[in-house]
Amino acid sequence: MNLIILFLLSYLNWSLFPQIDDSVYYAKIKNVRNYFDQDRITVTEIWSTKDMSCILTNQRKTIYRNDQGLIYSLNLQSKNYSIDSIQTRPATVPTKKELDLKYVGQDIYNPEYEWREPLFINQDTVGKYPCDHFLCKGDADFDQISLDYYVTKTDDLTLAGMINSFLLSSGGSPNKREPLKETTNKNRNLLILRIIERVENSIAPPITTTITVETYSKILPNGGLFEIPANFKKIN
């Protein structure tokens, strides 16, 4: 849920970019988190226009209707939905917790990294998209981190804003992607195609998170994309 709220807040910022038409922006993003040599895979699809957006992850779909000031949360499996107000829905902020060493390397510990200068590695491709590959490393009290990121240039600031906002807010501490955030804030023509984030510490296995934009495009509007299906039941 925190991921959804963070993306909503970012969306309110990137939606200020000018749009030249009412096309729907679409992206499919794959997130693979490896811990103890086990992968946890999440695939997210995003659709967005000037006033509406939709996020689909597994069997959960969230529709943001800025034109109505409402958020619709749908469970596609049970075919029910709830409604929240964009203005009144609280944005939860994680509380600071005392450090317990047995949880080092897990989400309960959110380190502040001291980052080195990013290094250009080479020109590469992610899927069918050419891009530039950079590497940045950082250190914290218990952790070391390496952040590989792959970026490409685009003239479509709205598309870049949508995808970048989602990737930068997808799980974990925001500080783990601070160099990339600074880079894309300075150059809004950069679109992030892949992040490989590897965190290591002395008493726990490394955690590797790989987030890849599998595809993105502008598509024609779909009349039912941002609507509640007629057979769904309201639960609040």
Q: If we measure between CA atoms, which residue out of 65, 59, 88, 58 comes closest to residue 11?
A: 65
**SS3 string of 56-68?**
EECCEEEEEECCC
User: Residue 18 above 60 pLDDT?
Assistant: no
How wide is the angle at C-alpha 97 spanned by C-alphas 95 and 99, nearest 5°?
155
pLDDT tens, 63-74?
A: 999 999 999 999
Confidence of residue 120 (pLDDT cuts 50, 70, 90): very high
Q: If we measure between CA atoms, which residue out of 24, 35, 15 comes closest to residue 171?
A: 35
- pLDDT the model gives residue 220: 85
Total domain count for the chain? 1
CATH number for the domain including 161? Answer: 2.50.20
Kindly provide the b/e burial profile for residues 146-162, where b requires at least 16 CB atoms within 10 angstroms of the residue's own CB: ebbbbbbebebbbbbbb
How wide is the angle at C-alpha 132 spanned by C-alphas 127 and 133, nearest 5°?
90
Ranges 2-16, 39-53, 112-126, 203-217: which has the least confidence:
2-16
Element spanning 184, H or E: helix 178-186
Q: Which two tokens stand for residue 227?
A: 């609507």
Q: If we measure between CA atoms, which residue out of 188, 170, 216 comes closest to residue 47?
A: 216
Q: Which two tokens stand for residue 172?
A: 């974990």
pTM, two decimal places: 0.80
User: Residue 234 above 70 pLDDT?
Assistant: yes
If you search the block for the tokens 């070391």, which residue do you land on? Answer: 144
Task: State in Å, rounded, how far the first CA of the chain is from the last one.
Answer: 17
The helix-helix angle for 157-168 and 178-186 (nearest 10°) equals: 170
**Whole-Å CA distances, 62 to 65, 74, 183:** 10, 6, 29
Q: What is the average pLDDT value for the chain, to the nearest integer?
A: 84
Ranges 13-17, 75-79, 157-161: which has the least confidence:
13-17
User: Residue 85 above 90 pLDDT?
Assistant: yes
> Domain of 19?
2-94+101-234
84 has which bridge partners?
71
Query: Which of residues 65 and 98 earns the better pLDDT score?
Result: 65
User: Residue 5 above 50 pLDDT?
Assistant: no
Q: Which two tokens stand for residue 53?
A: 């957006």
User: Residue 134 above 70 pLDDT?
Assistant: yes
Mean pLDDT, rounded, for 92-115: 58
- pLDDT the model gives residue 50: 84
User: Residue 133 above 90 pLDDT?
Assistant: yes
Q: How far apart are CA 177 and CA 136, in angstroms?
A: 10
User: Residue 106 above 70 pLDDT?
Assistant: no
Q: Are 40 and 107 in contact (CB under 8 A)?
A: no
Confidence of residue 116 (pLDDT cuts 50, 70, 90): very high
Of the segments 11-20, 81-90, 190-199, which one has the largest average pLDDT value? 190-199
150 has which bridge partners?
133, 194
